[in-house]
Structure formats: structure tokens, C-alpha cells
Amino acid sequence: MSTDKKLSGKVAVITGASKGLGKAMALAFADAGARLALVSRDTKLLAEVQAACRERAAEAETYQVDVTSEAQVEKLRQDVLARFGKVTILVNNAGINIRKPVTDFSLAEWHQVLDTNLTSVFLLCRTFVPHIETGCGRIISLASMMAHISIAHRVPYSASKAGIMGLTKSLALELAAKGITVNAISPGPCSTEINTPILNNPELLAKFTAQLPVGRFGKPEEVAALAVFLASGDSGFITGTDVVIDGGWMAQ
């Protein structure tokens, strides 16, 4: 999928934009001509992404936000509207994973994963939906292959990503009449920071790669290209669904 300038002039809010898939999407959206509101808690890495976007001649501003905080998300809304005047695209990408047996999880850790991965999506959607452009608005949330299948020691992560699926379907029906589409992307294993424990463990890496018919982990740029398509006018008849990009894992 060619990005071209199919997002020219559109304002995109991207959470978790400082690294991983968020960074890749920010750069791809910059190449596609979007005006960017980049959101993360890590200001140092976020500034580096901003600089890379500006090198691509994209307008990009950064916002240090804890997306699990209702007050901070509301402040983000105020700041983005004051700076850009509108929002066309909302990309809910912020997420974390804690891997261990369910009996080892504290309630605080459960809430940490659910609040970051799912409650933040609710907060961002509730806050920004009234300001998303009708007729061309797009909401894209990063789910996961783990919303469809799972493996051991992923209980809160899988639960949170499955929750995104339900939220996406319901919100798509709610906003369809306004011409705002709502979709999810479910990546399989990708070469990003969240998978560092796997990528740095040769035995685990070989085990995961053996499950991938394409024989490799996904590239962040591949997920980013899909996000650009879903954010563009080319995807206007796609809503309330999830696009799996997993190298064939779930086809087996």
C-alpha cells in the first residue's frame, strides 16, 4: 500500500507515539501528509519522533500525557484543539504487557494493564468523538492477535485486547451515521520493544518464529502502512471490524 499524500491536511492524534508501532505509524502518517499530535509519557523519545516527522516536512506537536488519567486526556483535548482546530484521526496505540501466571498478578497489576490498554481507549474516544470530523473521521485502535487466540501467562493482556474488539464494534455502529469509521488492527508478533523479552531469548524467538508461516516477525512499517490505509479515504466502507496482520499464524 502506497502512502502517497492521502492524509494531506488531516489531523491525527496518535497515542504511544514514542516507540514501537506508534513511532512507525507517526512516521508513516507524516509521509502521508498528516498533521500530527504525538502523545506519550516519554518526552525524550517523543521529541526524537517529532524531529523525524518534521524532517519529513510534517507538522508535528508533542504532548506528555498519561492516557489512563481522565484529567490529562481532557487537557490533551483542549491543547490539540487549540493548536490544530480539529481532529480527523484518532489512533489508540498506547499499551503494555505483563507476562506471568494469573496467580502471581496483583490487583494493581491487573488494573495497570487494563487501564493502559482498554480504559485509555474509552477515555480517548469519549473525549475526542465530539470533535472528530464528520464524513471523513477515523478511529483506529490497536488490538492484537491475542484478542482472538492466546497463550499462557497473558491473561490481562488478552482480556484488554478482546475488550477493544467489543468497543470497536459498538462504537462503529454508534458513529456510522456521522461518516466516522471505527476499526481495530490486530498485529501478530512484531519486532518492537514490547516483544523484547522474546526477541532477546533465542529459544523463545525460535519457538515463536516456528509458528509464523512467513518465517519472521512483522515489521512495524507493515502495520503502519495498514494504519495509513484505514485512516485514508480509501477505507470508507470498512467499519466495525478488525484487520489481522499476523504473518499467517491464525490461518493454521
Q: Which amino acid belongs to residue 250?
A: M
Averaged pLDDT of the chain = 96
Q: Does domain 11-242 have CATH number 1.20.140.10?
A: no
The answer to whether the beta carbons of residues 77 and 63 sit under 8 Å apart is no
Give the active site residue among 157, 217, 229, 249.
157
pLDDT at 195: 87
pLDDT at 193: 86
pLDDT at 4: 76
The Cα 227–Cα 240 span in angstroms is: 15
Establish how many alpha carbons lie within 13 A of residue 229's alpha carbon, considering only the half-sphere containing its beta carbon: 14
The Cα 98–Cα 104 span in angstroms is: 11
The Cα 142–Cα 161 span in angstroms is: 8
pLDDT at 2: 46
Question: Is position 157 annotated as part of the catalytic site?
Answer: yes
The answer to whether the beta carbons of residues 222 and 245 sit under 8 Å apart is yes
| Sequence spans of domains, the chain | 11-242
The percentage of residues in the chain with a pLDDT greater than 70, rounded to a whole number, is 99
pLDDT in tens, 43-65: 999 999 999 999 999 999 999 99
Flag residues of the chain having pLDDT under 70: 1-3
pLDDT at 56: 96
